[in-house]
Amino acid sequence: MEPADRLKVLEEVFPESRKSIRVLSLFLSNPHESFTKYMVEKLAAVNKAGDVLERLTSLGILCLVDENPRAYRLNTDNVLVRKLLRLLEQL
């Protein structure tokens, strides 16, 4: 099963969290890339991703790498992020 297919399974398991899963999956699939809010909304096919980005940042899952424009990257130093990456490999 491809990584993208694995994440779609999570969307089906947690339908009320679809936006969060799509945003998180974008970052987990591209752990070393930075994305602006606009890019996240376009690539993850979600509207109004700002609340999700702020929540994931406050949890330490994402880190802010630029202020103007605001750009976010996966915080690969975070223990939870490393576990999520391993979990996706095992799905």
The domain that holds 63 is classified in CATH as 1.10.10.10
Total domains in the chain come to 1
Rounded to an integer, what distance in angstroms lies between the CA atom of residue 31 and that of residue 53? 15
Task: Over range 74-79, report the average pLDDT.
Answer: 94
Which residues span the domain enclosing 9?
3-90
What digits encode the pLDDT tens for the residues 18-37? 888 899 989 999 999 999 99
Q: Is the pTM of this model over 0.85?
A: no
List, in sequence order, every residue forming a beta bridge with 62; answer none if it has no partner.
Answer: 74
| Helix locations, 1-91, DSSP H | 3-13, 18-29, 37-44, 50-58, 79-90
Average of per-residue pLDDT values in the chain: 86
Comparison of pLDDT for 34 and 90, the residue scoring more:
34
